[in-house]
Amino acid sequence: MTLQIDHIIPQAAGGTASPDNLCLACISCNSFKSDYEFGLDPLTETDVALFHPRRQQWEDHFRWSDDGLRLIGSTAIGRATVNRLRINRAEAVASRRVWVAAGLHPPFD
């Protein structure tokens, strides 16, 4: 899989190219994130900051569905990030279905 370097805080919003503002993202997630640093939490219908992978812990904001196919946001930040990046888009769920069948998903810590 080809990964891209994402500016967590977009350069358009003043984010720098320092390592603490960079992370790897797949092409689809990066394109949906674009220059956004906020997203809509569909539960509270408020705009909140997206998950910051350098400053926040993944397990505090996300969990996998019991079948491993869908990422569930457990906080407003998690839900907004899942929503903004369209993490549960049909193509991603189809890929996860194959990975689950092969015993490769969800990932272990």
| Site residues, Zn ion (CB under 5 A) | 26, 29
Whether the Cβ atoms of residue 94 and residue 88 lie closer than 8 Å to each other: no
CB of 25 to Zn ion, least distance (A): 6
- By beta-carbon proximity to Zn ion, the closer residue of 23 and 49 is 23
Residue spans of beta strands (DSSP E) within 1-109: 3-7, 22-26, 38-41, 46-49, 62-64, 71-73
CB of 26 to Zn ion, least distance (A): 3
CB of 29 to Zn ion, least distance (A): 3
Distance in angstroms (rounded) separating the CA atoms of residues 108 and 98:
17
- By beta-carbon proximity to Zn ion, the closer residue of 76 and 81 is 81
- By beta-carbon proximity to Zn ion, the closer residue of 3 and 45 is 3
Q: Which two tokens stand for residue 73?
A: 């946001």
- By beta-carbon proximity to Zn ion, the closer residue of 14 and 107 is 107
Distance in angstroms (rounded) separating the CA atoms of residues 44 and 64:
21
CB of 52 to Zn ion, least distance (A): 16
